[in-house]
Amino acid sequence: MKNNRVRLATNHLNWAGFFGMAWYVAIFTLIYIALFLIFGSAELDSMSYTSIGLNANRVFMLVMGIIVGGGYISWAFSLAITRKQFYKANLLSGLIISAILVAAILLVGLLVNLLPFTGTEGIIELQMHPVLNIITVFIQTYLAYLAGTLIGMGFYRNSWAGTLAILITVVFNMSPDTLDPYIVDILNTSNGVGMLIVTTIYVIILVILNYVYTRDVAIRV
Amino acid sequence: MVSVEFKNVNFNIKKEKILNNINLNFEPGKIYGLLGRNGAGKTTLLSLIATYQKVTSGELTVAGENPYENERVLPLVNFFHQSNYNDDTDSIKAFFELRQLYYPDFNMSYAEDLLAEYKISRDKKMSSLSQGQASVIEAIMGLATMAPVVLFDEVTNGMDAPSREKFYKQVLNAKDRENRVIVLSTHMVSEMDYLFDEITIIHHGEVLVNETVDTFLESGYEATGHIEAIKQFSADKNVLHSRTLGTTRAVSILGQITEEEMQKMDELDIRFAPIKLQDLFINMTDDK
């Protein structure tokens, strides 16, 4: 990051993200423990903290993306950060927060799993190497953030762009699961590889779409 | 030295023409008054300089370069308009420090001196500022950021009269003013006219007037005298505005005063004075 303004903006967006993340992880952990204490593991399909947490991360990152995408461009502009610099900072910050959030849930999950009343089952059992599993979860989390920023920026531009972004988000969030078995069948590979491939392609598409949405956005006075 | 130049600039939103064939030049060391009725295009014009929006056609340059998405030029331009700080949990001090990070030339001691004049604590939260105080903070940032181009869009709205007076004084005494372009967009014409070196009047998206205040004011004069004398004197003249108090009447007349008219005024015991900028502005932008 040679450009000082991009580095500064990335840092500021990171701190905003970390602040939200700290609240989210703490509240999510408390709710998980409280639910399993009150209802018992069997009532909740014995779902593990990590499994629920990694899925909930996507919702959190989608919301963070919407807030940053639509709410921070005017802030950035008031500090002489160009649209392109904001775009770079936003993408970098989303990447960093996604990685740290996945790591945080995995780490807290190790501690929560020590409690005797918690669950142990995963929502989807992928057959890939554990590292590939984690990479897939990380890319899914980042995808949610990018989808969020597209929605936020879309509605900042106008309602049509925002609505289109919501449609793209719905398709991009639902289809990797659906397409996985077909791709696995074609490539004759492990369950989950299809999801990883499709999600990666969607991330690339959203990186491009975010640029298209940001590059000439009119800043509101 | 940084100047701002518009050459045949047009700005449309969809098919609607917002600004039409704008030709302007803002030079350093001068304070420009940007006047216009509501919806005339003042804010849009300023937002184009600050690259909030992109010109549709024509050429806009700041420091000789196209400012749009220009990393070198964007920090040279500061655009201040009424902002809402209700969600900002930072203190004023932290807010200024953030600005200092992005604008290395931000003069913190100058900002604090200006702030002290308004008796606002730097520890006060931005979210707890009144509308007038928020305007003061905008004004202080505009002066202390030390950017070569400072655009104030109705920044005195919400300020009380003493605060406005302080702001006007601070603008006149702004640090490094000789190297800065200061543009003040305002509706408070009568209050601020003494600040302006030049005025630009925008009307229906076009530049109606762009000249020095002195030249502009030479286009009219005000005559005061007995009501009958004024009636006689102004019968064949373009009267912009008239005020009557008892048997005395004051009229604002469009047109340059001649030797012959001076003599006639002497005979009729009529006094004359420079026309008020506000009267001239109101008349020129009256669509009736």
Q: What is the 3-state secondary structure (H, E, C) of A135-160?
A: HHHHHHHHHHHHHHHHHHHHHHHCHH
Choosing among A68, A82, A84, A158, which should be mutated to test the B contact, i.e. which has the most B CBs within 10 A? A82
**What is the fold, at CATH topology level, of the domain defined by B4-216?**
Rossmann fold (3.40.50)
pLDDT confidence band for A125 (50 / 70 / 90): low
Of A80, A83, A221, the CB nearest to B102: A80
Q: How far is A216 from chain B (nearest CA, A)?
A: 8
Of B71, B81, B98, the CB nearest to A82: B71
Partners of B53 on chain A (C-beta within 8 Å) are 218-219
Q: How far is A49 from chain B (nearest CA, A)?
A: 33
Please give the average per-residue pLDDT across B186-206, as a whole number: 93
**Model confidence over A38-81: pLDDT tens digits?**
887 777 777 889 889 999 999 999 999 999 999 999 999 999 99
Partners of A218 on chain B (C-beta within 8 Å) are 52-54
Please give the average per-residue pLDDT across B168-182, as a whole number: 91
- What tokens does B194 get? 């003494």
Each domain of chain B, given as residue ranges in start order, spans 4-216, 219-284
Residue A3 pLDDT > 70: no
* A86-90, B48-52, B86-90: range with lowest mean pLDDT: B86-90
Cross-chain residue pair B71–A221, CB shorter than 8 Å: no
Q: How far is A82 from chain B (nearest CA, A)?
A: 6
Domain B219-284 has CATH 3.30.70.2020: yes
Residue A4 pLDDT > 50: yes
Cross-chain residue pair A221–B75, CB shorter than 8 Å: no
**% pLDDT > 70, chain B:** 100
Residue of A nearest to B70 (CA): A82
Query: pLDDT value at position A1?
Result: 46
Q: How far is A34 from chain B (nearest CA, A)?
A: 32
